[in-house]
Each structure stands twice: as structure tokens, then as C-alpha cells.
Structure 1
Amino acid sequence: MLLWSRSRKVAEPRRPTSGRGSLGGDEGSAALEFIGLGVVLLVPLVYLVLALGAIQGQLLGVESAARHGARTMSSASDERDAAARADATVQSAIEEYGMDPGSVQVTIRCAPEGAGCPSAGATVVVTVTTKVALPLVPSVFGLDRIGTVPVQASSAYKVSRTWTGG
């Protein structure tokens, strides 16, 4: 009994010979897909890094202004010196971090309410608020006003109970 014969040929599957007229012409599309997806994914990622960098830079500035303003005010020798030192410290931080002086709001208060600012045993609280403009937002149709992120920082320092106020 003969199971197979040498003269019998098995038909091989047909392979497309060129991209034309065939179903699977993928030559050169990987580079195009890489460029397309790269732009779609990379541009928003770069913008996100720029926006977060701008926000973080201004946030560090407001935090520094609040912290150092409260610290210098709580360690001043008298009330006039305290206000002048706090104002100078906050203005220095505004300039150092490149904040817009017109958009920065500074609030200074002392607790408990009704106490002189500063007074022995009181707590000086300095709050600094500003708005960060997002990068590359045009001023068309008021988008520059909408494209801002508010940042705020507060700091509290206790004035020494032995403070005499000059």
C-alpha cells in the first residue's frame, strides 16, 4: 500500500506580488502613523508641562511672599516697622518671582480679632493671592481673562509673648 507519491504536487498559497491590487500594502505607513500620533500626543503634553510650570512658579512666589511677610512682621520691633518690613518683603518676593504687581492681593490680619497688629501673643496671618495667565492663550474674545488660574497662599506666625512693641 502506497501512502504518498513523489509525483503529486501540493499547491502553495499565493502571495501578493506588489502593493497595487493587493489587500495588505503597509509599506511606509509606520512612519506616517508615528508622526501623526506623535504630534497628537506630544503637543498637549508639552503644553501641559508649560502650563504646570507657570502655575508652579507663581505658586512658589505667593507662598514665599506670604511666609516671609508673616515672619518679618512677627519679628519686627514695633508696629510701624512691622508694616514696612512686611510690605518690603512681599514686594521683594513679587519682583523675584516675576509676578504682576497689579494682580497680587495681600491681606494682613492678626488673631485674636481686635488685637494690635502685631501685639504680644497674637498670630500674624498673611494671605497672598494672584492669578496666573496660562501660556499661549490669546487675548481674542476675552480668552486671556478666562485662561487664568487663581493661586493663593497663607502663612501664620506667632508673635512672642514677651514682645514689647518698641
Structure 2
Amino acid sequence: MHPPRLSGKNDEGSAALEFIAVGVILLVPLIYLVIAIGAIQEQTFGAEAAARHIARVIARAPDAATAADRSDAVLAGIVDEYGLDEDTVDVSLSCAPSAAECPSAGTTIVVTVTTRVRLPLVPEVLGLDRSTAVPVQAEAVQKVSRLWGTG
């Protein structure tokens, strides 16, 4: 026989309800975090791939015009494959040592790709989607042949 209860409330079955409520409250932010980190990782891989492949096609191109055409094609392919926002992707190129013309034969080129990852489910109201975007940057370095531009 159970001892008598002092309160008149019956608590039987409320533990399962509490477990479900707390589980849902904790599960929803966890699922959002996984989705957001996945989106950021995908964009990071895209930026890294773009920087690496652009540096390679520029270093292996025979001249500046071919390098520009090939790098534009590579960037378009990477933007399409990784789902990058074309409006936020920025590619910059620098050379070391500083030369009059970049790229030029014998220099080391540094390709930097930057973009912004918009978090999922953030509304466009008042520019919230832009202000909560996560910046992503990747760099790649490639040595240009001493024969670059001669053929």
C-alpha cells in the first residue's frame, strides 16, 4: 500500500510529457546548428576549391588572356557546383615578389577567394540575412613557370 499523498494532484504520466517537451526544445536548436555548420562547411570547401583551381590554371596557362578565360570558367564551375552566391564571391590576385605585371614569369601568385555564407532560415527583413552572414576566405599559392607568357 502506498503512503497517502499530501497534495491532491496526480503526477502520473507527466514525466513522459516533460521529457518530450524538453527534448523538442533542445533538439530544434541542435538541428539548426547542424544545418548551419553544414552550409558554412560547404561554402568553405567551395572557396578553397576555387582558390586552389584558379591558382593552378593561371600558373599553367601560356599567357594572360588564356589565364583570364580559364580562371573565369573555373570560377563559374565552382560557383555552380558548391552553390556559392555569385554576388558575394570576390577573387583577388597578388604576386610575390611584386612585379610590374601580375602574373608574370617566375613569380609566386596568391589567389584569395572571399565570400559570405547566409545562414539558413534567416529572413531578408531589414537586411538580417546580410548582417548575419558568415565571412569565408581561402587562399592558394602557386609558382608560375619561368617560361610563362613566352608561348
Over 3 Å counting, the alpha-carbon distance change for 1:120 and 1:14 in structure 2 is closer
Alpha carbons 1:119, 1:165 under 8 Å: kept? no
Question: How many Å apart are 1:115 and its aligned residue?
Answer: 4.3
Alignment of 1:146-161 (within 5 A): 146-161=131-146
Query: 1:121·1:160 contact (CA, 8 Å) conserved in 2?
Result: yes
Query: With CA pairs under 8 Å and 6+ residues apart, which has the higher RCO, 1 or 2?
Result: 2
Once residues 74 and 19 of structure 1 are traced to their aligned partners in structure 2, the CA distance between those partners, rounded to angstroms, is 83
Aligned to 1:135: 120
Q: 2:72 aligns with which of 80, 83, 87?
A: 87
TM-score of the pair, normalised by structure 2: 0.90
Residue 140 of structure 1 deviates from its aligned partner by 2.0
Q: Output the CA distance in 2 between the equivalents of 1:98 and 1:69.
A: 17
CA distance in structure 2 between the aligned counterparts of 1:137 and 1:162, rounded to whole angstroms? 50
**TM-score of the superposed pair, with normalisation by structure 1:** 0.82
CA RMSD of aligned residues (A): 2.1
- Specify the code of the residue in structure 1 equivalent to 2:49: S
User: Secondary structure of 1:108's partner?
Assistant: strand
Distance of aligned partners of 1:164 and 1:106 in 2 relative to their CA distance in 1, 3 Å threshold: closer
| Partners of 2:113 and 2:57 in 1: CA distance | 15
Q: Indicate how the Cα distance of structure 1 residues 46 and 95 shifts in structure 2: closer, same or farther if over 3 A, else same.
A: same
Match of 1:49 in 2: 34
- Name whichever of 116-125 and 132-141 sits farther off: 116-125
Secondary structure at the aligned position of 2:150 is classed as coil
In the alignment, residue 46 of structure 1 is paired with which amino acid?
A: I
Rounded Cα–Cα distance in structure 1 between residues aligned with 2:54 and 2:149: 20
What percentage of residue pairs aligned between the two structures are identical? Answer: 58
Q: Deviations over 1:8-37 (max 9, x none)?
A: xxxxx9712x79627xx4311111111111
Q: Which has the larger radius of gyration?
A: 1
Is the counterpart of residue 15 in structure 1 residue 3 in structure 2?
Answer: yes
Answering whether residue 25 of structure 2 is matched by residue 37 of structure 1, we say: no
**Deviations 1:58-113, CA, capped at 9 Å, x for gaps:** 11111100000001100111121112111211121111111111111111122211
Matches of 1:141 and 1:77, distance apart in 2: 48
The match for 2:102 among 114, 117, 120 is: 117
Q: Deviations over 1:135-161 (max 9, x none)?
A: 001122321121210111111101123
Secondary structure in 2 aligned to 1:77? coil
Distance in 2 of aligned mates of 1:19 and 1:151? 61
Report the Cα distance in structure 1 between the residues aligned to 2:2 and 2:20, rounded to whole angstroms: 34
Q: What SS does structure 2 have at the residue aligned with 1:125?
A: strand
Unaligned stretches of 5+ in structure 2? none
